[in-house]
Each structure stands twice: as C-alpha cells, then as structure tokens.
Amino acid sequence: MTHVTIYRNKENECIGFTVIGHAEYAEAGEDIICAGISMLVINTCNAIEALTTAKFSLTTNESEGLIDLRLKENPTKETELLLSAMILGFENMADDQDYKEYIHLTFEEV
C-alpha cells in the first residue's frame, strides 16, 4: 500500500507531502496504481520547480518508494493550486472502489 500524507499549516494551506511505499496492485512494470501515483507526484514536483519561484526541499528513495516535498516558505497561489490538483488526484484514487485498498491518504497539521 502507498501511504500519502499531506501537510497543512494552521491556515489549512498545503505546505508539503510525503508519499511512501508501493501500491502492490500488480507486478512491477504492470502496476497502474503505482504509475498513477508516481505521475501525480513527479509532475507536481516538476511543475513547482518549473512554473513557480518556490523554494522547497525534496527527498527521494526509489527502493522505498519515497518522495517527500516541503515548501521552505509560505505557499503562493501557484503552489497551492498545483498541490491542490495533486491532492484531488489522490482523493479520486482513494475514493475509487477498485483502488482504495492500495492508497492511504491522510492530512496532518504541522
């Protein structure tokens, strides 16, 4: 199962996330859940880097299936929009009857 934790500040703004684990929906190379999660996360990281001026830290570990992104400053409208779009994708996956047992989504105030 893939665990997704979304970090929010006291103003309920998204300031980062951690994704860890492998969905184990299918064999490596055939796992559409893992591929979908990876696409959401990698595209969001790339978009924040390419389309905003946000400063952030990024930690990855491919064997653990870990990607951790933390904004180093308050979120802008642009980063909030990009992160909200990613969260919407995770929520859709977590609500889907066929896929919800492979992704666990939580929100944490930090």
Is the model more confident about 64 or about 52?
52
CATH (domain of 92): 3.30.70.1490
DSSP 33-71: HHHHHHHHHHHHHHHHHHH----EEEEEEGGGTEEEEEE
Is the model more confident about 95 or about 31?
95
Q: pLDDT digit string (tens) for 84-101? A: 999 999 999 999 888 889
Cα–Cα distance for residue pair 106/20, rounded to 1 Å: 12
Q: Note down the domain range covering 72.
A: 2-109
Number of compact structural domains in the chain: 1
- The pLDDT assigned to 30 comes to 85
The percentage of residues in the chain with a pLDDT greater than 70, rounded to a whole number, is: 100
Region 55-76: what's the mean pLDDT? Answer: 95
- The pLDDT assigned to 95 comes to 93
Of 5-9, 17-21, 22-26, give the lowest mean pLDDT range. Answer: 22-26
User: Of all helices (H) and strands (E), which one includes residue 95?
Assistant: helix 77-95
Region 63-86: what's the mean pLDDT? Answer: 96
Mean pLDDT, rounded, of the chain = 94
Predicted confidence (pLDDT) at residue 40 exceeds the cutoff of 90? yes
The two three-digit tokens of residue 25, written as one number = 């929906």
